[in-house]
Structure 1
């Protein structure tokens, strides 16, 4: 039987003066560089940013960019508080080039999101589209109203808001 030689590995300990901890190379990056602004979001997700009202984008931009000025920040926060919460908004889109009567099959997903409501519970998002993505709808719901009645009311509200007929076939994806 062959034996393998075992060599002992010694870890080396390095001692640095206390001034090493305060070296300028270890300083934290400034918050303006580490926190993404709304402009980063708009650039990364142009289709979603088109559905956000321009007023909210400019107000959010002013909050992130002008945090040094307390008066400007207070004004921007007051204006942002008057806007709808993103959880209260719904996204409704119907391609103007597609006749509403031609949309007969819908794809639906009702899923929980890692977004917490006031109670600390996860929010649920209803996503509805068709195969050609001519119809798009998204809305958030608190977890205590998720049931078949809510789904039925949401489907009826889509048909009323966008003027499309009830679907002949619904496919649940995921």
Structure 2
């Protein structure tokens, strides 16, 4: 049986190498870098291994053993070798870990989305106010509210999903006011 790596336990299926793991009472800080020799350009898709520079990127991940997990990724900015590509350099994205401009992992985003959809705003926010899970109460109900509306999820079993159903109210979403519409109306 092979040796188990820290990356395999904390980030299964993600192509990263763990350089350092620091545990405190409230946090696990994991310094990682990509194992891939090259990455595809986000502009044209051509793979490149020519490094332009390195930079530090910090991501929040799912809690482990009652501790917040902070991933410190040594990210690469690569040079695109395609002379016809509009991008000269691009940031490497690690599948199943990073997305452009994201500050949390795909796994944490999925977990927060599930909580927001199943428990709702306040109960979900209370669940995530433990020391290992600090997420804004205001963010919980809005994280994927658009996906709820897009799927027209009924509020109770057997309820109609059509917009002409009894009890359905349409809010005036005027863009002339400086404040968003009051949801209690």
Question: Do these two structures clear the TM 0.5 threshold for a shared fold by scoring above it?
Answer: no
Which of these two proteins has the greater Rg computed from alpha carbons?
1
Bigger relative contact order (CA 8 A; separation at least 6)? 1
Larger proportion of helix: 1
What TM-score does the superposition give when structure 1 sets the normalisation length? 0.23
TM-score, normalising length: structure 2: 0.22
